[in-house]
Amino acid sequence: MTDAFFSLDRTDLKILDLLQKDGRISNIKLAEAVNLSPTAVMARVQKLNKENFISGYYAHLNPEKLHAGFLVFVEILLDKTTPHVLEDFIDAVQQYPEILECHMTSGGFDFVVKIRSQNMDEFRRIAGQVLWHLPGVKETRSYPVMQVVKETTQIKLQSKK
């Protein structure tokens, strides 16, 4: 944990919590919720942005409505994990919008990726035309999701005592 976290007070944490729940909250409502003036809240939000506590604002889209309701997690094992192979793999992953997330892991596999597609047929195309063409891929294991039980981007924020 960085020292920057400790520069946050309860009001900053409350602002972050409210913004992660509703990134479109008006400055006036945010100010009312934390008992500060709109000017003071705006200054705090600008500081939180500048110090990278807020990494961006975006709309959470409905994948079902956009024909991307088929969710698959894929474990990827590379043939070797030398710095050159890792860098090539990581660079290549960035080029494919079909891959929503990619996480380097420890354990039996090197990476886990998250892919959304329209259906199994489209996922098979992605597996064959994208995943198997990534540099260094030796093996994959795919886990199609039957039901999303919980999905959030919200981080539990601990308030200072």
Helix or strand holding residue 43 (H, E): helix 38-50
Confidence band for 87, pLDDT divided at 50, 70 and 90: very high
CA 2, CA 13: separation in Å to the nearest integer?
15
The architecture that CATH gives domain 3-50 is Orthogonal Bundle (1.10)
pTM of the complete model = 0.86
For domain 70-144, the CATH architecture is 2-Layer Sandwich (3.30)
Whole-Å CA distances, 80 to 38, 49, 55, 135, 136: 54, 39, 33, 10, 7
- On the question of pLDDT at 1 being above 80, the answer is no
pLDDT of residue 106: 94
pLDDT of amino acid 4:
52
pLDDT in tens, 112-135: 999 999 999 999 999 999 999 999
| Domain residue limits, the chain | 3-50, 70-144
| pLDDT reading at 48 higher than 70 | yes
The amino acid at 91: D
What is the largest distance, in Å, between two alpha-carbon atoms of the chain? 57
